[in-house]
Amino acid sequence: MNGQLMLSEREGVMMKCIVDTNILFSFFKKDSFTRSILTSFNHFISSEFALIELKKYSQLIISKANISEEKFLKEMNELKKYVKFFPKQYYKKYLKIAQTFSPDKYDVDFLALCISMNLPLWSNDKNLKKQNKITILSTEDLVNILF
């Protein structure tokens, strides 16, 4: 099973994982616990598809986070300091495999990236836990590993 090798910070070894867009939405809320995790460990990876989705839903994020458009753009740049975004060409050859077990077409890029890097996916999407090809870590799971 992919994504099984996970080592925590408290053991002095870096833990990496892929992050889905829904987790990244929380980055824009100044005092969110998710933001504090993302900015504290700096070992997170995502697909450039996440950046497209964040831009697509920018007005919703601006509204929910109660920030200006200028602040949103600033935070997008800040996010890139903590999450390394990979282009589709990096995981392109795994897209068809990911399509065979992805519960949602919008998760395919993240699952393909997980396959390409042999890493777990940080997501609170319960439907993703129904598949057994990629390890899915909820925020609670991640906290238990890191702390």
According to the model, what pLDDT value does residue 1 have?
36
- Say what the pLDDT of residue 109 is: 97
Quick one: which of 37, 41, 45 has its CA closest to 3?
45
Determine the pLDDT at residue 8: 41
Give, for all 147 residues of the chain, the pLDDT tens digit.
333 334 344 444 457 899 999 999 999 998 899 999 999 876 899 999 999 999 999 999 999 999 999 999 999 999 999 999 999 999 999 999 999 999 999 999 999 999 999 999 999 999 999 899 999 999 999 888 877
Residue type, 50: A
Instruction: Give me the pLDDT at residue 42, please.
Output: 67
CA 77 distance to own-chain centroid: 16
User: Which CATH code of 3.30.70.980, 3.40.140.10, 3.40.35.10, 3.40.50.1010 fits the domain covering 9-146?
Assistant: 3.40.50.1010
Return the pLDDT at 133.
93
38 exposure class (CB count in 10 Å sphere: 0-12, 13-18, 19+): buried
Domain boundaries, the chain: 9-146
pTM: 0.87
